[in-house]
Chain A
């Protein structure tokens, strides 16, 4: 079955360390997205990518970085510059960003930084 795989499901890090969250899709989708979810705030867009080797900042990109070297993969790095990194992170994909199509989501990674 096609889908989006996020790993790991839970991640614990010490403050000051960078951490990378994995996202892989086998849906052959062009567009991929990273969202951050905090209680009571819905989903906020961190970064998105329309095609390989191209990505754009979303609404809350500060303290995060991404890469898109392969169509299937869109890893997110939470850097030590992110002031409040503890959150639930969701990766999503869609057919493209120019055609209207629903987002398909992974099952998320819960990051805890202490």
Chain B
């Protein structure tokens, strides 16, 4: 069965430090991959997406993600974290099921940023 795993429930980094949030998926073919960010009490905002082509994807707010087929991973990175990046981050995997697109979300990683 298809699944998405975000191994880190909470991560704390210092402002200005680099960040990597992990995402692994289980799916037989190449999925469609997304990262979303959620501020407290808000909806989800799309950071970036991978459909095909270049495996390094640039997104908004200085984020990037790299699709590694051999590792079934789509890790999110940012070279220098800002205090405003504190939020919850969700990885999502899209795939075909019964002629329709289906989306599965990971459980999320909550990011805290120390000043």
Contact = CB atoms under 8 A, between A and B. Distances in A.
A43 B102 CA distance: 13
B41 A108 contact: yes
B103 A103 contact: yes
Main secondary structure of the interface of A (DSSP, over half): loop
B53 to A, nearest CB: 13
A107 B108 contact: no
A97 B107 contact: no
Contact of B107 (A42, A90, A102): A42
B44 A105 contact: yes
Interface residues of A, number: 23
Question: Main SS of chain B's interface residues?
Answer: strand
A110 interface: yes
B67 interface: no
Interface string B91-107: 00010000111010111
B9 A100 contact: no
Interface in B37-86: 41-46, 49, 51
A105 B105 contact: no
A110 B41 CA distance: 8
Interface of A: 4, 6, 9, 40-43, 45, 50, 90, 92, 97-100, 102-108, 110
